[in-house]
């Protein structure tokens, strides 16, 4: 079944577009997806992305391109750097009135992360078209040149600065409330996989029956973020819940799919649970538990932060999380309540000792 998305076209003055951007999404098998926009060059690029990336990335790229070309109202070969800069200004403009700001990032327009992702999509598209000889060069600037007084040359300043923000966590009371309102054993198993194992949403939904190592209490993540594989241990409580789900709810479905987590009722009963389905489950649980915010990544962040607080080495947290760079893992140092205070007091005690000795020496000199 194909799903079509179309946005109102905002063609700029003096431009001409020979096509109307229209996103068509079609499911391919259990997890594949085909995305088309109705333009040969853009569809070629989306096929290229689909061959390299996960379905969620393909969908995000398709929607980003839909938003851009709906705004700009031009064919890809006609796009200029000015068009890209105008698009950035539009994306950062206030939404719902200038007096409305986001509670999380305190920004009036779309979040910097969203705009930066859309710029990355455009950079990928026009880099692809330039490599194929459709365009001489990409119209997306890599940044702005800034020179400091007395310096030679200039540093590149990113077009969009992304603020550094700490992830949100669940406290123990919120965690207990969440687990208490989950309606199925399946839902409890999925939440525990993220809360006790630090798995991503795609890790959970991508699990196959053969990926479960009950004897070792480990899970094989066959296709994690970026297509990377890893084996992670998970608490025994999760495997107890998972066994209960496999022996009861999943067995009753009688599905031929080897996906672990399936749709339990409705017209798609027996099909692998989708990302939208898992998000819907969490939205219902959030409401019943009285939580202000709840996402899959919050559960993951809560797990990895607690592991670090309990003394798990940063390198081990990196392996558990599936981070390619340890720099991504360092954020859990800041989220751990005791780490910063411990390091600070250890360092400040030496400084206070030096200050006390200096003050004592000055007092002795004054007495003499």
Domain's final residue, options 143, 160, 195:
143
Residue 139: CATH number of its domain: 1.10.150.130
**120 and 224 both lie in a single domain:** no
Using the predicted structure, report yes or no on whether residue 12 has a pLDDT greater than 70.
Answer: no
pTM of the predicted protein model: 0.70
Number of folded domains that form the chain: 2
- Report the pLDDT value the prediction gives residue 1, as an integer from 0 to 100: 53
Residue 183: CATH number of its domain: 1.10.443.10
Using the predicted structure, report yes or no on whether residue 348 has a pLDDT greater than 80.
Answer: no
Domain's final residue, options 126, 143, 160:
143
**200 and 279 both lie in a single domain:** yes
**127 and 185 both lie in a single domain:** no
Using the predicted structure, report yes or no on whether residue 368 has a pLDDT greater than 50.
Answer: yes
**63 and 109 both lie in a single domain:** yes
Q: Is residue 335 part of a domain?
A: no
The 10s digit of each residue's pLDDT in 121-155 is 999 999 999 999 999 899 988 765 445 555 555 55
Quote the CA–CA distance of 299 and 178 in Å, as a whole number: 11
φ, ψ for residue 346, nearest 5 deg: -65, -40
Q: Is residue 62 part of a domain?
A: yes
Q: Which domain holds residue 77?
A: 2-143
């Amino acid at each position: 079944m194909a799903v079509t998305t179309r946005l109102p076209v905002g063609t700029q003055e003096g431009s001409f577009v020979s096509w109307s951007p229209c996103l068509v999404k079609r499911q391919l098998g259990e997890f594949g997806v085909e995305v088309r926009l109705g333009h040969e060059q853009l569809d070629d690029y989306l096929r290229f992305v689909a061959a390299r990336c996960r379905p969620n990335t393909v969908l995000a790229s398709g929607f980003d391109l839909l938003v851009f070309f709906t705004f700009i109202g031009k064919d890809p070969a006609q796009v200029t750097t000015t068009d890209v800069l105008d698009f950035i200004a539009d994306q950062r403009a206030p939404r719902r009135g200038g007096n409305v700001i986001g509670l999380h990032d305190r920004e009036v327009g779309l979040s910097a992360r969203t705009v930066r992702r859309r710029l990355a999509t455009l950079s990928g598209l026009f880099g692809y078209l330039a490599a194929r000889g459709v365009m001489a060069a990409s119209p997306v600037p890599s940044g702005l040149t800034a020179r400091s007084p007395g310096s030679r040359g200039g540093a590149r300043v990113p077009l969009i600065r992304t603020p550094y923000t700490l992830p949100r966590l669940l406290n123990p009371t919120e965690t207990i409330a969440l687990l208490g309102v989950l309606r199925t054993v399946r839902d409890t198993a999925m939440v525990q996989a993220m809360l006790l194992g630090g798995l991503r949403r795609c890790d959970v939904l991508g699990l196959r029956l053969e990926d479960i190592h009950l004897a070792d209490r480990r899970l094989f993540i066959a296709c994690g973020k970026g297509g990377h594989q890893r084996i992670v241990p998970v608490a025994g409580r999760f495997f107890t819940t998972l066994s209960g789900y496999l022996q009861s709810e999943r067995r009753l479905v009688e599905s031929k799919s080897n996906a672990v987590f399936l749709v339990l009722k409705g017209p798609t009963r027996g099909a692998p649970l989708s990302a939208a389905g898992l998000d819907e489950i969490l939205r219902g649980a959030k409401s019943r538990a009285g939580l202000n915010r709840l996402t899959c990544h919050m559960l993951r962040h809560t797990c990895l932060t607690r592991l670090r607080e309990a003394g798990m080495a940063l390198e081990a947290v990196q392996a558990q999380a599936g981070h390619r760079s340890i720099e991504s893992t360092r954020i859990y140092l800041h989220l751990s309540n005791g780490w910063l205070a411990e390091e600070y007091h250890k360092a400040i005690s030496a400084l206070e000792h030096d200050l006390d000795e200096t003050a004592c020496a000055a007092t002795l000199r004054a007495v003499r």
